[in-house]
Amino acid sequence: MIPLLHHPFWFLRHGETVANAADVIAGSTDSPLTAQGQQQADQAALPVARGEKAYGIIIEYMAMNAKAKGSPVDFVYPAEGVSVITQPVAILNGSDAVDAAKVFVDWQMGRAAQEQSVAQGYFPILQGVAQPAGYPDPATLTLLPADYGRMLSEDAKNKETFADLFGG
């Protein structure tokens, strides 16, 4: 728990999904919750709905998708700025399928994939592809500066600090 503005602040990702239970990395796909995952989500949602706890959902699409389904949550974009979280795609050095990888990367950066991303609740990267319904115009958001080289060089230390703070 991190004290934030004199209130407990908890980080919540989501309940167990079918993909989690099967040890499948599902990425940004919307894998349904297992019975245990639904119970976990319900346990987390009730104190929020009653105003007993303030939860921080790091990635906005989670809150926005829940809100669209009727959950009593909202997402606030801080005026001080927001971080940028990318959905990286790359061609690995030494890949034995470089041509196929190039086709995939080209598709991922294209209109069809960007529209699919919007349907899942992500901001698009292409001009002319509108953000998801209910999201602010990206031009109105202040982006926090990031030193990616420093982040990479301090990666192990940051993970250790995170584990010390939150367990795991």
pLDDT digits (tens, 9 = 90+) for 26-79: 665 667 778 887 777 767 666 665 666 666 555 677 777 777 777 777 778 888
Cα–Cα distance for residue pair 118/125, rounded to 1 Å: 10
Q: Using the predicted structure, report yes or no on whether residue 2 has a pLDDT greater than 50.
A: no
Nearest to 61 by CA among 73, 50, 51: 73
pLDDT digits (tens, 9 = 90+) for 73-96: 777 888 888 887 766 788 888 889
pLDDT reported for residue 130: 92
> Quick check: helix, strand or coil at residue 55?
strand
For the chain, the average pLDDT equals 77
pLDDT digits (tens, 9 = 90+) for 93-127: 888 999 999 999 999 889 999 998 888 888 888 88
pLDDT reported for residue 5: 43
Q: Using the predicted structure, report yes or no on whether residue 3 has a pLDDT greater than 60.
A: no
Q: What is the mean pLDDT of residues 14-20?
A: 77
Nearest to 66 by CA among 136, 117, 15: 15
Cα–Cα distance for residue pair 74/89, rounded to 1 Å: 29
Pick from 7-16, 24-33, 144-153: least confident: 7-16
